Homo-oligomer: A and B are copies of this chain.
Amino acid sequence: MAETYPKKGFNNVNRYKHQETYDVETIHAIVNGTPVLHVSFVPDPAVPLPIVLPMIGQMGLFPGDESKGETDWKCYLHGYVSSRLMKLADDALKRGEEGLPLCVAATKVDGFVLTLTPNSHNYNYRSAVLQGFGTIVDDKDEKIWAMQLITNSVVPDRYDNTRVPPDGAEMQSTRILKLKISGASGKVREGVPEDERKDMKREDVLDSVWTGVIPIYEKLGEPQPGPYNRIKKIPDHVSNFVDGENKIREKYALDAAHKPAPVKRVKKTDDD
């Protein structure tokens, strides 16, 4: 696997250069750590109106592909794959394309950055955007492998702690989209507030406006047994996940709030 995604055309992040990344590990970590991905496609190629669907997804390299010498990871997407979406993917293949053109976005908010003036307010965040071509996974082994990958991305080891394998009807009704990535980029902002020079010079403003970061993270609450649950003790794969994740997530958001601000190209303004 290449260590960075190629920097070209559509994935060229052209603002906040200091925050941009093409690092494969960083981009994959953002995608894999986001519980909902936003997947966009154009339902009618004649009309430039996209739609966006929330889906669950994970980066992965299917062992069957790897054994054929494939090294690029794919994004496996699970969600409501409509018959229309399936037809669009098939149509694209028939036109000789690699699949349905898709764009996938993952964004995590890590903090609200409160500065002296509204225009300098920011988020601490991590975002990734993937572009590429989607196809429906037909291969049975790959489908089961992807179902396992995606289930365990929600709660590690969950798959083996449920009634598996999926039966025929379940295999039939599950549809997985596989995104072959043609380009990807990420953006990361972390750190303390930063303001424009013109405001940093104003004692009256510095004396009156509170500046700082409100850390944010997705907190997992106490697991709530359902009405037909018979297992008295919450199993380790669930409780370990909740405890461990909460510590990691809280620490990330708090650490991000205290890092140095990104190196900024000081912007000259007509008020400066």
Find the B residue at minimum CB distance from A92.
B48
**Is A212 among interface residues, defined by CB-CB distance under 8 A?**
yes
Cβ–Cβ contact A52 & B49, under 8 A: no
Cβ–Cβ contact B49 & A210, under 8 A: no
- Segment of A21-29, A57-65, A67-75, A113-121 engaged in the interface with chain B: A113-121
Chain B residues within 8 Å of A205, by CB: 163
CA A200 to CA B109, docked complex, whole Å:
39
Chain B residues within 8 Å of A217, by CB: 218-219, 221
Cβ–Cβ contact B168 & A271, under 8 A: yes
Chain B residues within 8 Å of A208, by CB: 231
Q: Mark A135-160, 1 if CB is under 8 A from B, else 0.
A: 00000000000011001001100110
Cβ–Cβ contact A219 & B216, under 8 A: yes
Which residue of A192, A209, A226 has the most chain B CB atoms within 10 A of its CB atom?
A226
Q: How far is the CB of A55 from chain B (nearest CB, A)?
A: 10
**Which listed residue, B155, B162, B254, touches A224 by the CB 8 Å rule?**
B254
Chain B residues within 8 Å of A42, by CB: 42, 48-50
CA A168 to CA B42, docked complex, whole Å:
39
Chain B residues within 8 Å of A173, by CB: 119, 269
Chain B residues within 8 Å of A103, by CB: 40, 49-52
Chain B residues within 8 Å of A228, by CB: 193, 195, 200, 206, 211
CA A131 to CA B44, docked complex, whole Å:
14
Cβ–Cβ contact B271 & A169, under 8 A: yes
Cβ–Cβ contact B209 & A226, under 8 A: no
Also in contact, A119 and B174, with CB within 8 A (given A162-B209, A200-B228) = yes
CA A117 to CA B48, docked complex, whole Å:
39
Q: Mark A253-272, 1 if CB is under 8 A from B, else 0.
A: 11001100000000001110
**Which listed residue, B41, B116, B169, B193, touches A50 by the CB 8 Å rule?**
B41
Chain B residues within 8 Å of A52, by CB: 38, 40, 52, 103-105, 129
Find the B residue at minimum CB distance from A171.
B119
Q: List 8 A-B contacts (CB under 8 A).
A: A35-B109, A48-B48, A50-B103, A54-B125, A116-B162, A117-B162, A118-B158, A161-B210
**A residues lining the B interface (CB < 8 Å):** 10, 14-16, 35-36, 38, 40-43, 45, 47-54, 56, 80, 82, 101, 103-105, 107, 109, 111-112, 114-119, 121, 123, 125, 127, 129, 131, 147-148, 151, 154-155, 158-159, 161-164, 166-170, 173-174, 192-193, 195, 199-200, 202, 205-231, 234-235, 238, 242, 250, 253-254, 257-258, 269-271
